[in-house]
Chain A
Amino acid sequence: MDELVEYHKVNEMVIRDSSTRDCNMIACWQGGNKIMTFAPALPDNQDNFRQTGPVYLHNVQLNTDMEHPTSRKLINESHMVFASLQQMRKEVKDKSLDKSLLLKFSRKYRSILHSNFLEIRLKLEGEHENHEAGLEQQMKLYSMMELIWSLCEILFVENLPDGAVLLQLVEWCKWHFPLADELVQECTRSVDETPPASHPSYWDAVYALVLQGRVSEARDMLKLHPHYQTQVYDSFSSIDELLRKMPLFSFYQGQSTAEFEMKWRHWQDECLKRLHDGDFDTVIELKTICKILCGDEEVFHQLSELSGSWYRILITYLLYTNPTINLYDLHYHSKLCIDMYGGHTELSALDNILLAAFKFDVSQVIRECCIHLSNWWLPTHLTDLIYYSELIPNYSSENSSDLRDFLLVQYANAMSGVESLWDVVASYLASCSTESNHYLALYVQRIPLSSEKKVAKLLRLCEKHQLTTEAQSICKQMAMKALTNKRLGNALLWCIKSNDSSFAMYIADQMLTEYAQTGTFSNIDVIDYLGPTILMSERLTFLGKYRDFHRLHGEEKFEEAGRLLLNLLVSRIAPMELWLSLLMDALPLLDKDKIIYGVEETSSLLACLNTLDQQDKLFSKLSESEKRNHLQRIKHLRLSLTNNLARAIVS
């Protein structure tokens, strides 16, 4: 399990760059987990040193653990569990959920870990030679995480009343260290050639079973021994009886601790008696088994190779000396077993994590996990699971942040290098407990707006978390993008979404300029769908009304069209630059048989024309030919309007 230590040390890398003379290097963030480094020019060597060779940049990607295809599954599946856990918290309105519920979630996480582990193992078995170098390490990492998680589940989540945890711990050992099963299999597989009892590892298999407290299986193994006779009462029958009668403490059987302890003492006295009576002196192996049953410390030393590690011997030791051990006393006994394996100095990173768990020091477990595991998956999800059960002391000072938030952000940050995981990252950041979503707000601004579909999803996310400014900024960017690509209609739509009236006015102006130049509106159909948002900008309102006028005119509703046009002029909504065009639009209405503009209306139009005529400033901006044109039109208009006035008076 040394690779843990290596992960820690490895946060260091070398970039080979011999292209430059200088040894200095500057790094800047690309975003996510990517860094760009380059050799900088010294600020004071202006022009006296010229680089000769090519100049290189180096794109460094840190901690690509999360980008591994095998991690994808872990990330996505655990995100589902995480999201439903948050949802549950919201629904129940009690953040510290019921223990049974927490246990359910914990098992879900654990099964994800296990299925990932199996998948990698399958992959490794499939391709023998040319598998990726990292795959094996990934597998080891997963198995380690599973080991830690399941121990934490027993100690922190399940946490039975009375703190009686031993049976769970025995199960934990059985599940994670299948050495006994392997040995048994080894013995029984070769049944055709040699009887299992004469297999060299036969006794090791029996010891291993007894050490893990699997008495019935041990008895089955013993029955395979040729000396085992049911009829005669000998040493084999004696040990069989002891094994059969071994009491097991289980909280669920409704036994009281005292009752059990009495039974247990009675049974162990019997074991000791038989050992001293010399029942097993003839078969030395059986004597060893009996010594185990008696909880003899010496024999554990002898068998330390079969146990493999201090935490496994700890559980065996407790099983045979102190079966009703309380959760909080584990720490005291662990010391003894560690000494058996060379003391504290020999402890690896994993040992330290497990030791912290046995000490029931949750914050220490999380701290060690953060330092030693190469990803943030385990500490983040574990912390989130048990955060509200008051196991973790809450520090708060000015500079510190909430531990759960801190880990969520770290985990999300590690994933942010993978662009396709943006919604997962956002979901974790959104689960931070700080009142407003500052982290989410920061992250949302950095998500590339690669497609309209993604933008729509992103906007929904912003809406859900009340990130109004960010949503507006996104819309603005989209509007800007559309504008640079000369898609005015699209730009207008985005800009209305972003609620930016000055920008809307700019785009409306662009549309009107286009109209003034070409006589047609290219994207005008957008205007028809705007509805009340058209009131956002004065210019946009005008554009909408003007569009209405064209439609009415087209539908030959001349009276209404005429009234609208007059309104546009009189209310001064129309920009001065366009007045002449508007008045020209009125010309065909004057030629109609029916009088559309009465005396009053015609006078208003004439007044407008006079105002326009007096706009020297506007006039001076025009070119020579335009000036001539302008004057001619005004003259023409005045004539027509006067004629119309005369007609109106007469009728």
Chain B
Amino acid sequence: MDGCNALDQIYMVKRINSEHKDLLHDVSFDFFGKRMATCSSDQSVKIWDVDENGEWHCTASWKTHSASVWKVTWAHPEFGQVLATCSFDRTAAIWEETVVENSSSQTERVWVHKVSLVDSRTSVKDVKFAPKHLGLQLATCSSNGIIRIYEAPDVMNLTHWSLQNQIQCKISCSCLSWNPSTHRNHLPMIAVGSDDPSSSGGGKVFIFEYNDQTRDWSKVLTIMSMTDAVSDLCFAPNLGRKHHVLAVASEDLHIFTIKPSSNETSTSSGTPPTYNQVAHFTDHCCKVVNVAWNDLGTIVISSGDDGHVYLWMANYLGIWRRVGELKKDLSPPSDMASPPVEKSDLSPLPVDGNRINFRRFTQGRAPPTERPLDPKFAGAYY
């Protein structure tokens, strides 16, 4: 088992009990990787903070929606500690952590419900904050194919969000990604993927650009080669490149470069953007469900339905290659004690099935009322 030794050294795995009562939908980290938000089918969101030893502690947990929470995402810390969530219950919500003084006059941090964005008539599938140079903006996409852009005109008052734009995609949307480029020649850009199952419906990835003149978003590009349902897509951090890099998770993993439209004339875009596929990997034997870039945009990570996670990297010639793999083992943990790398946290979950235990910090709304006593006990003397 010499090989195993080498393995221990290279990887370290820590197991964390999420304490969620159902499977997770999304995990999101703040800008520094110091805080984590998890959301689950159990309708709640939990906030985790990491301590100096790298251990995660759940510091807040509350019920956010009345149905499964699909996505959770952090705003840039410039705007404070702000979260956005979206759910099957057709809403997206904004949450802010504020310091309050509790009854024993100690300061306490609580998450306050700021606003619910209720414009959607169907399930809101994804929610993403715009890169910070565009101000405090938020994009949502819903399963009936409408993308909505919201903006908070006053960043100090998050209870007021105005709906800036509504874009009709005419096809069920599953994911979106803002282009993070801060280059002044690059127009604000959003990529949207569709999970529409029919492969005859044409391209499933759309690129939208914001035009300053018309103050509107318009579709500038459809990646026609992507005819399979798209589960996730993500722009890479732009490193002063002239083109953008977009990773798309569909049946396979695709990586595209997108040349933005030239707007030297700054009138209605001169040439439309063009795209080029730089990598296409079929290593996942089934659907790819998730893609993510690391901070420096050098490694992309893709997760498949088959329990495999692959890491990809381009060498300096721009040739993409697989550099790592994580695999899930479903076998029962009979030899749990033997691998010392896994810190097993197998303490049984406290057995309480009722959801009343969730604390809610919803501003303006009364806490859930106590269940009335059964009438036959009402007058009893104890």
Contacts and interface: CB of A to CB of B under 8 A. Distances in A.
Interface of A: 3, 6-7, 9-18, 20, 22-32, 34-41, 43, 46-47, 50-51, 53-65, 68, 133-134, 137, 370, 374, 395, 397-403, 405-407, 409-410, 412-413, 416, 434-436, 438-439, 442-443, 445-449, 469, 473, 476-477, 480, 484-486, 506
Contacts of A56: 15-18
Given A28-B290, A485-B99, 4 more contacts: A14-B326, A46-B41, A50-B21, A60-B12
B140 to A, nearest CB: 16
A405 B317 CA distance: 12
Leading 6 A-B pairs by shortest Cβ distance: A399-B318, A31-B33, A41-B23, A406-B316, A23-B307, A134-B9
B213 interface: no
Nearest to B182: A469
Contacts of B323: 11
B23 A480 contact: no
A10 to B, nearest CB: 5
A36 B36 contact: yes
Contacts of A68: 9
A447 B296 CA distance: 12
Contacts of A409: 296, 298
Contact of B325 (A11, A36, A402, A448): A11
11 contacts: A6-B3, A9-B3, A18-B332, A28-B292, A39-B23, A57-B16, A57-B27, A413-B298, A442-B295, A446-B31, A477-B77
Interface of B: 2-3, 5-25, 27-29, 31-34, 36, 38, 40-41, 54, 56, 67-68, 70, 76-81, 88, 97-99, 107, 132-133, 156, 182, 237-240, 242-243, 257, 278, 289-290, 292-299, 301, 303-309, 311, 314-318, 323-333, 336, 339, 342, 348-349
Nearest to A39: B23
Given A27-B292, A442-B239, A15 B3 contact: no
Given A14-B329, A40-B25, A439-B296, A397 B317 contact: yes
Looking at B76, B304, B309, B328, the one whose CB has the most chain A CB atoms below 10 A away is B328
A24 B289 contact: yes
A155 B343 CA distance: 48
Given A29-B292, A29-B295, A24 B303 contact: yes
Contacts of A20: 23
Given A24-B306, A34-B33, A480-B78, A57 B38 contact: yes
A32 B2 CA distance: 28
Contacts of A395: 316-317
Contact of B294 (A12, A24, A26, A413): A413
A395 B319 CA distance: 13
A27 B239 contact: no
Contacts of A23: 306-307, 328, 330
A62 B107 CA distance: 38
Given A32-B295, A62-B10, A442-B297, A51 B22 contact: yes
Looking at A36, A50, A413, A416, the one whose CB has the most chain B CB atoms below 10 A away is A36
Contacts of B27: 26, 28, 36, 38, 57
Contact of B21 (A6, A27, A28, A51): A51
B22 A10 contact: no
A394 to B, nearest CB: 10
Contacts of A12: 324-327
B295 A31 contact: yes
Contacts of B31: 445-446
Given A57-B27, A409-B296, A442-B237, A473 B327 contact: no
Looking at B14, B40, B296, B349, the one whose CB has the most chain A CB atoms below 10 A away is B296
B295 A25 contact: no
Contacts of B23: 20, 22, 39-41, 51, 55
B80 A484 contact: yes
A402 B318 CA distance: 10
Contacts of B278: 399
A54 B336 CA distance: 16
Nearest to B143: A43
B295 A443 contact: yes
Contacts of A59: 13-16, 54, 56
Nearest to B287: A24
B255 to A, nearest CB: 10
B309 A25 contact: yes
A15 B329 contact: yes
A130 to B, nearest CB: 13
A434 B240 CA distance: 9
Given A54-B18, A486-B99, A46 B88 contact: yes
A269 B301 CA distance: 66
A3 B303 CA distance: 29
B318 A397 contact: yes
Contact of A55 (B24, B29, B301): B24
Looking at A47, A68, A485, the one whose CB has the most chain B CB atoms below 10 A away is A47
Nearest to B301: A27
Nearest to A18: B332
A468 to B, nearest CB: 12
B56 to A, nearest CB: 7
A447 B77 CA distance: 12
Looking at A13, A14, A29, A47, the one whose CB has the most chain B CB atoms below 10 A away is A13
A382 to B, nearest CB: 15
B295 A15 contact: no
A436 B206 CA distance: 31
B290 to A, nearest CB: 5
A445 B133 CA distance: 13
Given A399-B278, A484-B98, A17 B330 contact: yes
Contacts of A6: 2-3, 6
A16 B333 contact: yes
Contacts of A436: 240
Given A14-B327, A16-B336, A56-B15, A39 B56 contact: no
Given A31-B29, A398-B243, A16 B317 contact: no
A447 B6 CA distance: 30
B14 A30 contact: no
A13 B327 contact: yes
A473 B304 contact: no
Contacts of A443: 295-296
A64 B9 contact: yes
A39 B32 CA distance: 23
Contacts of A15: 13, 326-329
Looking at B40, B41, B97, B107, the one whose CB has the most chain A CB atoms below 10 A away is B41
Contacts of A29: 29, 33, 292-295, 301
B303 A10 contact: no
B204 to A, nearest CB: 16
A506 B156 contact: yes
Contact of B18 (A57, A62, A407): A57
A23 B287 CA distance: 13
Contacts of B289: 24, 26, 40
A61 B41 CA distance: 27
Looking at B33, B81, B298, the one whose CB has the most chain A CB atoms below 10 A away is B33
A72 to B, nearest CB: 16
Contact of A31 (B32, B40, B97, B307): B32
Nearest to B328: A25
A246 to B, nearest CB: 44
Contacts of A399: 257, 278, 314, 317-318
